Amino acid sequence: MSNSYSIRSTKIGNSAGFRLPAEFYREYPQFANADGWIEVLSSDTAILRIVPQSGDDEDAEDSVMMRLFLDFAMTETLKNNALQPYTTEMSEAARELIAGVELDDESEVFSAVK
């Protein structure tokens, strides 16, 4: 699910901003009216993070913790531009590592994680 969209710099009142194409919002309506932030990675690279508003307060605390963890993981991953694509060879190596592994009871594993 990796689509690219062209953005344009524009003047918004007394500030400057970026304009996203209408196609972006048609394909991802959850980002309309969402807040976010931009993180500068280097002099010519930045990442934009848009966080859609959630209507479900029940999982809000878990969602915040997961978001904090994912933000940390993304920051660590992007350090030194060490991000690599996951290749077919990597997938095959992982499958070989777990080939023949059997769990006694999957429900015990998942209940222990919760």
What is the tens place of the pLDDT at every residue in 5-35? 888 899 988 899 888 888 988 888 888 888 8
DSSP 3-state of 57: coil
Statement: the pTM of the whole predicted model exceeds 0.85 = no
Q: Which residue positions in the chain have pLDDT lower than 70?
A: 1-2, 54-61, 82, 106-114
Residue 110 to residues 71, 103, 113, Cα–Cα distance (Å): 24, 11, 5
- CA dist 15 and 10 (Å) reads 9
Question: What is the per-residue pLDDT for 114?
Answer: 52
Nearest to 49 by CA among 68, 22, 23: 68
Residue 35 to residues 32, 48, 51, Cα–Cα distance (Å): 9, 11, 6
